[in-house]
A and B are shown apart, each in its own frame.
Chain A
């Protein structure tokens, strides 16, 4: 077992176990922190796939941004502990049929797809490629997303200002 295999299993276990806890914990704060571990585990798997830029952006955006926002929201909400969180099983038969069908599709895709297998190698940084693509081929989408974010920021500021 080499280092990459070992790390893959570590990250896979972290991701799966914490994702399981996100849905089963009854305390919303526990779920939020489990979600943090899921994000970190997924970021680790991205690194192993050679996508270093997306891994780090995942940590910045999800752990540093969205998770902190969730925690702020939860902590500043009064009496959030008193809200009953439903975690019991309901609609067992339709749910199991849907999950079974969906799972079957996924598993059959896994088995039937002819995966391109490549020898594991130390991946080069994807940063400059991502930059070139964003600035050449996808420049329009990139700019549009920038404007969208700006609109969201201005909207948030104007909502906050009214009070």
Chain B
């Protein structure tokens, strides 16, 4: 809808697609600033501190001040780094996280590209993040960076498998890979959301319910691992690896990694919300439909979508400041010996229920 509007406004497909493609950026950057502040506040309150309090009301301008500082900082590149790859890597990592936003339906009025293979596309572009992290680790010419990068790549590649199996579970129920269709399948009543068995009539829904809850838990755990968040943050474990793959980075390039991390956190939360919690749908009807103001509906949908996304980002932070870090072997054991078999059996059972 927004794309057609822009195409009409400028009279050119090319300009319209550039602007339409830049729109998520307008969302991602303020979100990252907000999320960094939120992370500091959440961590502080979990540890009985106050966190940033000086800049603005309860420190809400702290991250803006931080980013101004980071922009002014000297761009340090250590002598033996591989200059070209060192400079490209942060951009590539951010590109991978940002590309996922192209297929995420923010509301029924705005989706970057409503392709039929939406969810598969998101799985595909997350591979770019791995390539970028490996590039950063290699180019830094630092053993901690390289260890961090290799750990991170191994972790992301392993945890993609349970994620994809759970996605398949949802796809089997809905019968489409299109994220808009998956969202429309779950109506604006919360008991029709996928985590409660989807909008299927009859006894099938009740049988499906427990397996959908299991699927949601699995995809949430593996999305934590894919964003390298605690308890799965061994790629940047401070006590062992200094800062992991971004040890050598400073200034704006370091900020790019942070931007990518927070963009990625929102992306995986948004995907979990779209697949299992109704996406942009409100849990109980729309105010716009009730009062006859139809134009209000997309705005409400955008509100619910961001609310769900930010809630899951908050849960990620909550977990980060509550749980200890896993060891490498525990991490791989959890993925290969528990999550993948459970996800696979879960998938088979759901497929069987849908066939019957």
Chain A residues within CB distance 8 Å of chain B: 1-3, 6, 29-30, 33, 36, 52-53, 56, 59-60, 63-65, 67-68, 71-72, 75-76, 125, 127
Contacts and interface: CB of A to CB of B under 8 A. Distances in A.
B150 A75 contact: yes
Given A72-B153, A75-B138, A63 B131 contact: yes
B133 to A, nearest CB: 10
B123 A60 contact: yes
B177 A127 contact: yes
A64 B138 contact: no
B157 A29 contact: no
A133 to B, nearest CB: 16
Interface in B234-274: none
B222 to A, nearest CB: 15
Instruction: Tell which of A6, A65, A125 has the most Cβ of chain B within 10 Å.
Output: A125
Interface string B112-142: 0001110011011111101100110110000
A11 to B, nearest CB: 14
Interface in B64-111: 82, 84-85, 88
B13 interface: yes
Q: Majority SS of interface residues in chain B? A: helix
Contacts of B82: 29
Interface string B316-332: 00000000000000000
B17 interface: yes
B131 A127 contact: no
A68 B13 contact: no
A3 B17 contact: yes
B153 A68 contact: yes
B14 interface: yes
B350 interface: no
Given A29-B85, A56-B120, A64 B150 contact: no
Contacts of B150: 72, 75-76
B224 interface: no
B208 interface: no
A1 B12 CA distance: 10
A68 B134 contact: yes
A-B interface, 9 closest residue pairs, ranked by CB to CB distance from nearest: A64-B127, A125-B116, A3-B13, A59-B124, A60-B124, A63-B127, A56-B124, A71-B134, A56-B120
